[in-house]
Amino acid sequence: MKSTKRRDALKTLAVGSGLVLLTPGVLVSCSQKSEKTTAQGDAPPSKKSKVGVALVGLGYYSTDLLAPALQLTKDCYLAGIVTGTPSKADTWKEKYGIPDNNIYNYENFDSIKDNPDIDAIYIVLPPSMHEEYVIRAANAGKHVWCEKPMAVTAQECQNMVDACKKNGVQLTIGYRLHHEPNTQEYRKIINEGKLGNVKSLKCAAGYRENRTDHWKQKAEMGGGVIYDMGVYAIQGARCGTGMEPIAVVSAKTISTRPEIYKDGLADVVEATLEFPGGILAEIKTSFAENTNFLTVECEEGTLAMEPFSAYAGVKGSSPLGEINHPYEVPMQQAMQMDNDARSILDGTPPLVPGEEGLRDIRIVEAILACAKTGQRVPLV
CATH number at residue 126: 3.40.50.720
- 319 and 349 share a domain? no
Residue 190 has pLDDT above 80, yes or no: yes
Q: What is the pLDDT of residues 39-57, one digit of tens each?
A: 444 556 667 899 999 999 9
CATH number for the domain spanning 309: value is 3.30.360.10
Q: Is the pLDDT of residue 157 over 50?
A: yes
Confidence of residue 199 (pLDDT cuts 50, 70, 90): very high
Give the number of C-alpha atoms closer than 13 A to the C-alpha of residue 356, restricted to the C-beta side: 34
Would you state the pLDDT for residue 29?
60
Residue-level pLDDT at 31: 62
Query: Among the residues of the chain, which ranges form H helices?
Result: 3-12, 60, 67-70, 86-96, 130-139, 154-166, 181-191, 229-241, 331-346, 354-373
In whole angstroms, what is the distance from residue 326 CA to residue 328 CA? 7
Question: Mean of the pLDDT values across residues 143-147?
Answer: 98
Q: Identify whether residues 22 and 101 lie together within a single domain.
A: yes
Q: Is 330 helix (H, G, I), strand (E, B) or coil?
A: coil
| 213 and 145 housed in the same domain | no
Question: Are residues 134 and 236 part of one domain?
Answer: no
CA distance to 20, 87, 102, 185, per residue, from 108 (Å): 36, 17, 11, 44
Per-residue pLDDT reduced to its tens digit, 202-243: 999 999 999 999 999 999 999 999 999 999 999 999 999 999
pLDDT in tens, 245-267: 999 999 999 999 999 999 999 99
d(CA 380, CA 31): 14
CA–CA dist 53, 50 (Å, integer): 9
Same domain, 113 and 96: yes
Residues 318 and 339 in one domain: no
In the predicted structure, residue 35 carries a pLDDT above the cut 70? no
Q: Are 229 and 285 in contact (CB under 8 A)?
A: yes
Q: pLDDT by residue (tens digit) across 331-352?
A: 999 999 999 999 999 999 999 9
pLDDT at 15: 31
Note the pLDDT of residue 321.
98
Q: Could you tell me the pLDDT band of residue 38, with boundaries at 50, 70 and 90?
A: very low
Do 107 and 159 have their domain in common? yes
Structure confidence at residue 49 (pLDDT): 94
pLDDT of residue 39: 42
Query: Hey, which of 18-27, 36-45, 71-80 has the most confident mean pLDDT?
Result: 71-80
Query: Looking at the structure, do residues 22 and 58 belong to the same domain, yes or no?
Result: yes
Q: Assess whether 105 and 18 both reside in one domain.
A: yes
Q: Is the pTM of this model over 0.85?
A: yes
| Domain co-membership, 148 together with 118 | yes
Domain span at residue 173?
3-177+333-353
- On whether both 23 and 154 belong to a single domain, the answer is yes
**Is there a single domain that holds both residue 347 and residue 370?**
no
Domain count, the chain: 2
Going across the sheet that includes 247-254, the strands are 321-323, 316-318, 301-305, 291-298, 198-206, 279-286, 268-275, 247-254, 377-378
